[in-house]
Each structure stands twice: as structure tokens, then as C-alpha cells.
Amino acid sequence: MKIAVGQFAVAPHWRENALTCVEMMTKAAEQGADLLVLPEALLAREDNDPDLSVKSAQPPEGDYMRMLREESLKNALTTLLTIHVPTTGGRAANTLLALRGGEIIAQYQKLHLYDAFSVQESRLVDAGESIPPLIEVAGMKVGLMTCYDLRFPELALSLALAGAEVLALPAAWVRGPHKEHHWATLLAARALDTTCYVAAAGECGNKNIGHSRVVDPLGVTLAGAAQSPDLIFADISSQRVAQVREKLPVLKNRRFAAPRLL
């Protein structure tokens, strides 16, 4: 499988961001990618208005996703991203959408809300209640996660035990002391915990770090971006996952029961 990971700085207007996503989808497809992972909360962002993503919430059948679905009809690319979807009373759900062939083939409402480092995502966002699904892309099983989920190894492990070979993570990793180190360490740790590839897309605006990566099942970075808009690529394979799991059978060697999430 050829995987693409894109990052950009989300603008205050949803249409501009939709056009950026469409452009990245076009470029990824032209380069022969099977899967494109884009960042988290791509409707709108404004440094002086932390609530803009929720205020701009749209349903999956709204104009934002309509533009992306139209582009998706042109090729076999699977695209992952998150947007805020309205719930009730000015609240929203941070929702990961998997798009292929002009259709939304899977959805996941973020389980772990970012109530940390003086941020309270739960103030306006409703947490999900279900473990994310696996999807199949180019013969490989892909588990879905979102941003702060990365800090909870039980979720990654549950996906690996369900058959995931790749963990895909849209994110908007907030800047702060040592946060780039946290990001890199956790991506490698989740790869090693699960012997899965990890493909993580980070928003790269003024408040978020960027640093998108593709990490292999032994924690080695195959492709990485810095702080500027970028589109990176890596070739991954089920054979590599199988080879690593033969050498490092952590999933088989576990002495504890599988985590029971919700």
C-alpha cells in the first residue's frame, strides 16, 4: 500500500480548507496513493477564537464534505479527516470520516477529549461511546484514532487485537514545552505496542506542531514533515507487519485479557 499524509494550516473559512483538502486528494491520487490521512478539525480555525471549529460545525452531508465527495468520485483513494458535526445546543462531535468513491464508508466520534494542558475540549464537544471501526484499504486493515487517543495505549491495542495492521491518526497536536517530543515518542510507542504502522497527520498552524509522520511496526520513521504544509508518502506492506510480528510477537505474548473498552 502507498500511504500519503498531508498537513496544512487550517484557515478561518471552511471553503478555503475544503479546497486545500481537495488539492491534497488530487496530488495524493496522482502519486498513486491508496490512503490519505489529513489532520483533525478541518472545518475552520482561528487563533483568537478557540471555539470556531465548533461554531462552524457541519453535518457529514453538508457543503464541506460535498466538495470532498465530488473529488473522491474521481479515483479509488481513501481519505481520512475529522470535522466537527453538530449535536445539540451549540455543541458538536469531533468526527473522523473515511471517504472513498464519493461515499463516507466509516465514521468515528472521538473517544478521548483533550481535557489537558489547560485546554478543555469537552466544554463544547461530546465524547464518543464506541470503539472506532477497522476499514480495509488495498488489502490492509486500518484502525482509526484521533489526536489525544494517541495517549491511551488501550485503544491502539484493542484495534491491533481486532486485526489492524495500520493505525491512522488525524491530529491537531497543540504546541507546548516538550510537546514535539511527546508526539514522536508516543507515535513510536504505539507502533511498538501494537506492531502496526502508524500514520499520523498533524495540523501545522500557529498553535499546533505539524510534524506528520509514518512510522513502521518497529518504531522507525519512514517519512516525516516539519512545521510547514507538506504531503509525505511511504510504501507499507502486510508482509512487513507479519515479519515484525514473527520477530516481536508482543500481541501473542500478552498475559492480560484484551481491554474491554466501553
Q: Catalytic site residues?
A: 40, 110, 147
**Contact call for residues 200 and 169 (beta carbons, < 8 A):** yes
For residue 78, the surrounding DSSP H or E stretch is strand 78-86
**Contact call for residues 119 and 130 (beta carbons, < 8 A):** no
Helices (runs of H) and strands (runs of E) counted in the chain: 7, 14
* Cell numbers that stand for 94 in this block: 469531533
Round to whole Å and give the CA distance between 124 and 93: 9
Residue 54 neighbours by CB under 8 Å, 6+ apart: 84, 90, 91, 92, 124, 125
**Contact call for residues 182 and 194 (beta carbons, < 8 A):** no
Of 186, 238, 248, 239, residue with least CA distance to 215:
186
- A 10 A CB-CB count for 151 gives 14
Cell 502507498 appears where?
A: 2
**Contact call for residues 202 and 170 (beta carbons, < 8 A):** no
Strand order in the sheet with 197-202: 134-137, 140-144, 166-171, 197-202, 213-215, 221-224
